[in-house]
Structure formats: structure tokens, C-alpha cells
């Protein structure tokens, strides 16, 4: 059986066919749920079919995963790191094929698709080093012949629910760290990017098989809300990492909290760039272009609000409008394209509805504002002049729409930045140290990512990624994010013959 188009033949190189099973359960590919069709957002034509998970598939997979976890957590962490290193090497051999698949199925341009897969490889490298540094503390005890120390142990199973916009990178942020920490991983990929879920899982499964390890250490399901709800409710999963909207994330959090589980949430963003009067204008314009147009405005870190000091307002705006008019919109796999399609037809409809709401609230369309008539989900990159107090500015329109507004003072700009429910990413363009340190300090940006002279998006993996407020408060990837994937025990050891009590208590 062949693919519908010759250009899809490369998918065979990463283990995909025209019809695929969408569940990896205890080393076996199966799928007893609905059969879905993955479509190319550039033309809305079928790529391939995937058989999703049923609840029976889920239960079978979870039972096997629970058993595999008992073995995996006993393997020394540097040995677990070696397995993750091999996963990184396996991904390197398929980097361009996988990157091309991300671009094809999700819709982001090829450079971004390859970059996304590279991000997982980078996470593997980071996790390998981390596997030898999962350190606890030795704490001085107030009692003679006593020692206090901290032990970090695996949680057990980590559930990872990812979104379409980064269909595999977010898995990497979570799975690489979770695995070296001694946890098994249960992954539910986005319903609209099932081919990426299958292809990624096949590579990871190959490494586990090569090392004669239980296949269920990594269990994957393609599926919709039913499987996501099962993960959220499952008491066998002590930590659920969820990436998606604030609305759904709150529902997941409430469900997990009801069973006293832990949540790691990466939710909506409504990110601002502030351009001060002393900013490098060209640097700012280039940064705004990437931050607002990259991934067709479908990153959680996309710049959605541009705050311009009144003295440079028109200069920056004129330059930005000129640049926007030169953006090449088209097939994300073609060289030179900067703006690919939105991911689904529904996204395109949401863009059109959003533009009408913007106009009704006094927004002035300076560039773009239209759906591009085609077979695909293409829209124009859009710049809107609007008041910071407009209701629509507080919401996240997941499309390449940039709201531009004017400010007079730094205090005013920071207040506008912090005035939205979300708190993911932010950036300021200035050369003045007093502004920089005000911005990153306690009276500055209230976001989890606070940048200076760079875009709001394109975060490196070495830092902890995540945000505050309606963004969820989770932290993934680098720094000490690993602590969320382990349980900490404070251990007091009495190696003497007496029983002195803390706080000097004398009991009997």
C-alpha cells in the first residue's frame, strides 16, 4: 500500500505507512479505538491513517507500565542516562526525516520542524549529565550522633499530555528528565499530530528493545479527550504534565488534585515585548517578527502584544509594517517560507472571528487581517493598533495577530505587561542597566520568562521553562526542574545509643 502522494514516501524511513496502529502497549503496536486521518494543514489533504487507543488498550498499557516501572527505578541513574543518550543518538540519525514530518503534519516551517527535533536531542544530552547529579543534601543535625540528609527517589509513572504546536519537543522536556529520574512515561500525543507520536515512539522503543529493557517503560497512546481524562483520573500516575489551554489545564488540575496527584501545567501565554526609547530598533524589529510570526503565531511564547515608547512608536511601527508585507506565506516545506498554515480549519475560522471581535472593540488593522483563500489554512500576518484596555487583548488568539500599543513611562509599560491573566514570557529592549534590573526585579515583569533584547520565544533548554498565573506555574526542561519528577524524603539517622529529642524536649 502506498501513500497518496509521492512526497510522503520519506515517512517509510521513520517507520510510518498509509495505515498505522496508534498505541504502543507492552512492546506491541495496536489500536482498537477510532481510526483517524492525519491531514496536511497546507492543503487539508490526507497524509495517513492512525488507529487510536480504546480504554481497553489504555488499561492494558498501564498494567504493563506499572510492572516495568518496578524494574526501571532500580537501575542506577547513570545507567538510565546511558539509555537516554542512546535515544538522543537514534534521533540524530533521523533528525531531518522527523523534522520534515513535524513540518508536514503540524504546519510549521521546515527550519522550525528540524529545530524542534533538535531540541529533544539537546534535552537528551542535558539529561545524560543530570543522571549523575541527582544530588540530595546533608543537613547538620542539632542532636549529637545524628545525621540528616535528603533522598530523592522516583515518583513511579509520569503522564505526559502534549499539544499540537510542539508535538514532540514538549515530550522531550518531560520524558528525558522523567526517565533519568527513574520514572516510566505514559505519553498521549495531540489528536491532530498522531504520526509524530507514532514515529517518536518507534525510535524510543527501538532503543529499549536493543538494551533488553521492558518495552512498557515507555508507553504511548494516540487518542482524544477520553484517554486524557483516563490519565488525569489514574491513581497509578502520581504526576501529570499537561500542555494546552488554560481552560482545559484547570480541568486537568482539578481532576488530578481530587486524587491528591501532582500537576505540571504549561498553559496559555499572552506575551509582550516592550521597546524603550533607547532600544536598538533593527534588533527589536527582527525579534518581533520572529516572535509574532514564527510558527504562525501558535507558540505559547508567541509575542501577542507590542508596547512601544511614544518617542519611537511611529518609527518602529512603520519599519515593522514594511517587514510584515515582505513575509512569504506558503508551503512550510518550501525554501524561503516564513509563515506556514494554521494547524486546522477551526484555527482559521477562529482567526476570522477574532478579527471581527478586534474591529468591534476599536482595533485598527494596519497590516493583514484576512484569511487567504486556498485549500490550506493560510492567513495573513496581522498588525493591529488597539488600546491596552480592550477586552480582546487579555485573551490568547492562537494566530499571527500582533496588538500594538503606546506607552509613556516604564512604570506604565510594566503595568500593561502584567495586566493580563497569563504570565509566561516577556521581553524588553533597552540598553540602560537601571531599566534592565528594574524589569527583572520584584517590581518588574510577573512572568516566568523575563528577557532582555531577545524575542519572547525560542527559549534554551538549559533554563526552567514555564510561567505564572493562568500559565499554570509549572517548570520543565532545565535548571532544577528535575525535582518535580522525584519525591524528596528527609531522613534523620541516629547512629548513637542515646535518644535526644529535637527542640530539647525531655519526654519521660
CA distance 421 to 269: 9
CA distance 367 to 342: 18
Give the CA distances from residue 485 to residues 71, 167, 237, 269, in Å, rounded to whole numbers and listed in that order. 17, 21, 11, 24
Q: Is 266 a catalytic residue?
A: yes
Q: For residues 71 and 156, is the Cβ–Cβ distance under 8 A?
A: no
CA distance 191 to 167: 10
Considering the candidates 266, 375, 385, 415, report the single residue annotated as catalytic: 266
> Do strands 401-407 and 303-309 pair parallel, antiparallel, or not at all (unpaired)?
parallel
What distance separates the 2 farthest-apart alpha carbons in the chain? Answer: 85
Q: Work out the end-to-end distance of the chain between its first and last CA atoms, rounded to an integer number of angstroms.
A: 82
H or E stretch at 366: strand 364-367
Give the CA distances from residue 72 to residues 91, 156, 180, 306, in Å, rounded to whole numbers and listed in that order. 22, 9, 10, 48
What cell was used for 6? 509521492
With cell 519526654, the residue in question is 507
CA distance 167 to 193: 7
CA distance 33 to 27: 18
CA distance 200 to 49: 16
Q: Would you list the DSSP string of 47-99? A: EEEEE---HHHHHHHHHHHHHHHHHHTTS-HHHHHHHHHHHHHHHHHTHHHHH
Q: In 380-400, which positions are buried (b, 16+ CB within 10 angstroms) versus exposed (e)?
A: bbbbbebebebebbebbbbbb
Q: Which residue in 274, 258, 340, 354 sits closest to 307, CA to CA?
A: 274
Q: Which residue in 401, 392, 448, 446 sits closest to 267, CA to CA?
A: 448
Q: How many CB atoms lie within 10 A of CB 428?
A: 28
CA distance 160 to 65: 14
With cell 516510566, the residue in question is 184
CA distance 102 to 165: 9
CA distance 439 to 433: 10
* Catalytic machinery residues: 266
Amino acid at each position: 500500500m502506498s501513500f497518496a502522494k509521492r512526497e510522503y514516501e520519506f515517512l517509510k524511513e521513520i517507520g510510518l505507512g498509509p495505515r498505522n496502529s496508534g498505541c504502543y502497549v507492552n512492546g506491541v503496536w495496536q489500536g482498537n479505538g477510532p481510526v483517524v486521518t492525519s491531514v496536511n494543514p497546507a492543503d487539508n489533504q490526507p497524509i495517513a491513517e492512525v488507529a487510536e487507543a480504546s480504554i481497553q488498550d489504555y488499561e492494558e498499557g498501564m498494567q504493563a507500565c506499572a510492572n516495568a516501572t518496578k524494574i526501571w527505578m532500580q537501575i542506577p541513574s547513570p545507567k538510565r542516562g546511558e539509555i537516554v543518550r542512546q535515544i538522543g543518538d537514534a534521533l540524530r540519525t533521523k533528525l531531518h526525516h522527523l523534522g520534515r514530518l513535524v513540518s508536514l503534519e503540524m504546519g510549521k516551517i521546515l527550519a522550525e520542524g528540524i529545530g524542534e527535533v533538535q531540541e529533544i536531542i539537546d534535552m537528551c544530552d542535558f539529561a545524560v549529565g543530570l543522571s549523575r547529579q541527582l544530588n540530595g543534601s546533608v543537613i547538620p543535625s542539632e542532636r549529637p550522633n545524628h545525621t540528616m540528609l535528603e533522598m530523592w527517589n522516583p515518583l513511579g509513572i509520569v503522564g505526559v499530555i502534549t499539544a499540537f504546536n510542539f508535538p514532540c519537543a514538549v515530550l522531550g522536556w518531560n520524558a528525558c528528565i522523567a526517565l533519568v529520574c527513574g520514572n516510566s512515561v505514559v505519553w498521549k500525543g495531540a489528536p491532530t499530530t498522531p504520526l509524530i507520536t507514532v514515529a517518536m515512539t518507534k525510535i524510543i522503543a527501538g532503543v529499549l528493545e536493543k538494551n533488553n529493557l521492558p518495552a512498557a517503560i515507555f508507553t504511548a497512546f494516540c487518542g482524544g479527550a477520553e484517554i486524557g481524562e483516563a490519565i488525569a483520573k489514574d491513581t497509578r500516575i502520581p504526576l501529570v504534565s499537561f500542555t494546552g489551554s488554560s481552560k482545559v489545564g484547570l480541568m486537568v488540575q482539578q481532576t488530578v488534585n481530587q486524587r491528591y496527584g501532582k500537576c505540571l501545567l504549561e498553559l496559555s501565554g499572552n506575551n509582550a515585548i516592550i521597546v524603550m526609547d533607547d532600544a536598538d530598533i533593527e534588533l527589536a524589529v527582527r525579534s518581533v517578527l520572529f516572535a509574532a510570526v514564527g510558527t504562525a503565531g501558535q507558540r505559547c511564547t508567541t509575542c501577542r502584544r507590542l508596547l512601544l515608547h511614544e518617542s519611537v512608536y511611529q518609527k518602529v511601527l512603520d519599519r515593522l509594517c514594511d517587514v510584515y508585507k515582505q513575509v512569504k506565506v506558503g508551503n512550510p516545506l518550501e525554501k524561503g517560507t516564513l509563515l506556514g498554515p494554521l494547524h486546522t480549519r477551526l484555527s482559521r475560522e477562529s482567526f476570522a472571528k477574532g478579527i471581527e471581535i478586534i474591529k468591534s472593540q476599536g482595533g485598527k488593522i494596519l497590516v493583514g487581517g484576512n484569511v487567504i483563500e486556498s485549500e490550506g489554512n493560510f492567513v495573513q500576518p496581522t498588525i493591529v493598533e488597539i488600546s491596552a484596555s480592550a477586552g480582546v487583548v487579555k485573551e490568547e488568539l492562537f494566530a499571527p495577530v500582533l496588538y500594538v500599543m503606546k506607552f509613556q513611562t516604564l512604570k506604565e509599560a510594566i503595568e500593561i505587561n502584567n495586566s493580563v491573566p497569563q504570565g509566561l514570557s516577556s521581553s524588553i529592549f533597552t540598553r540602560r542597566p537601571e531599566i534592565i534590573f528594574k524589569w527583572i526585579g520584584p517590581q518588574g515583569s510577573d512572568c516566568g520568562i523575563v528577557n532582555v533584547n531577545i524575542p519572547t520565544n525560542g527559549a534554551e533548554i538549559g533554563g526552567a521553562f514555564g510561567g505564572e498565573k493562568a500559565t499554570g506555574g509549572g517548570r520543565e526542561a532545565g535548571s532544577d526542574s528535575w525535582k518535580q519528577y522525584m519525591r524528596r524524603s528527609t531522613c534523620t539517622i541516629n547512629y548513637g545509643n542515646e535518644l535526644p529529642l529535637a527542640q530539647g524536649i525531655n519526654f519521660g
